[in-house]
Amino acid sequence: MSVLSSEAIDSMDAPVVVKPSRNLSAYWLIAPGVLWMALFLVVPIVMIVYVSFWTQTTFKIEPILTTHSWEAFFASDTYVGALWTTIRIWLIVLFMTLLVGYPTALFVGLFIKNKTLSTALLVLCVIPFWTSFLIRVLAWRPMLGKEGAINIILQALHITSAPIDALLFTELSVIIGMTQIYCVFMVGPIAFMLGRIDPNVIEAARDLGAGFGRIFRTIILPLSMPGVVVGSIFVSVMVLGEFATASALSGRKVNMLGNIIVTQVGSLKWAFASVIGVILTILIGIVVASLLRVVDLKREL
């Protein structure tokens, strides 16, 4: 019966419905968006590459091609140092967000069976985003400072006898701040992937006598990998392009590539800022490309 009726609908479908020619109109619909992106995203990025080869004098730049700015970058310890600082902070923050985020995602995505509760927990994770980004960064100052909340609590519990100076205006404070700001981007995708695991698979493994460790290694971890990769891409792209957290929480002591761009633009050294922009673009490109190689996202999602 059902087979018959669906066939009947199929045979009716074709002649009756006259589809407007949508293929041509698809181009008209997509054109404004693509044009906008080409003009205001692609052209500026190409411009950065181009200007990085311009000649920079003290007060202006001229479109005479030279590799001078590039040589200056690699000859300077400060700038190459900023490249290493960026890579170091990125690796540490990526690891920390994973360490902080994965167990939470595991709990929310897999252990909470109640849909309402797991949604509520995810919403709780997202609520801080309704506070301005800069305010969230700034909120770490009264936390980490010498007379800050953490030092007061540590002293009240007699864990430390004197306030710890090293908490604020160091690389540590930058890492703590970034971990808190970006860890949610890790929790979301991982929890999403974990939520899609068929509970019967875990049940079957358990019935066959597998312990939690084994189940985690052979089922949960591999199935959550696409989430880990997506989360890592989010966190990496954002951390690599960071400068505000670094300057606000390190007292301008920690300089990432983004910070150098800001100072160079501030002193109108456009060609030099462009060199760093190109290096940043290449770095992000390499990181994203290698993360995409870990898991074939198109197949997994």
Partner 1 sequence: MQSTFIKPVLAVYTALFLVFLYGPFLVLAILSFQTGPNGGPQFPIIEWSTYWYRDIFGLTPPSRIAPLPIEESLVRSLVLAMMTMVVSTVLGVMSAQAFRTRFKGSGIAFYLIVLGMMAPGVLVGLGIALVANVLGIDRTWWGTAFVLHVVYTFPFAFLVMLAIFNRFDASVEEASWSLGVSPMRTFRKVTFPLIFPGVLSAMLFAFTLSYDEFSRTLFSSGRDLTLPLAIYGTFSIEIHPNIFAFGVLTTLFSFALLAIYAVLMTLSVRRARRLAIQEES
CB of 48 vs partner 1, minimal distance in Å = 5
Q: Considering the complex, state which of residue 196 and residue 206 has its C-beta at the smaller distance from partner 1.
A: 206
CB of 81 vs partner 1, minimal distance in Å = 18
Concatenated DSSP letters of 241-288? T--HHHHHHHTT-S--HHHHHHHHHHTT-HHHHHHHHHHHHHHHHHHH
Q: Considering the complex, state which of residue 171 and residue 241 has its C-beta at the smaller distance from partner 1.
A: 241
CB of 115 vs partner 1, minimal distance in Å = 17
Q: Considering the complex, state which of residue 205 and residue 225 has its C-beta at the smaller distance from partner 1.
A: 205
Alpha carbon distance 134, 119 (integer Å): 27
Alpha carbon distance 250, 255 (integer Å): 9
Q: Considering the complex, state which of residue 18 and residue 64 has its C-beta at the smaller distance from partner 1.
A: 18
Alpha carbon distance 189, 226 (integer Å): 8
CB of 26 vs partner 1, minimal distance in Å = 4
Alpha carbon distance 252, 273 (integer Å): 18
Residue pair 178/89 in contact by the 8 Å Cβ criterion: yes
Alpha carbon distance 266, 260 (integer Å): 10
- Nearest CA-CA partner of 218 in 235, 203, 237, 205: 205
Q: Considering the complex, state which of residue 49 and residue 294 has its C-beta at the smaller distance from partner 1.
A: 49
Alpha carbon distance 248, 242 (integer Å): 11
CB of 294 vs partner 1, minimal distance in Å = 17
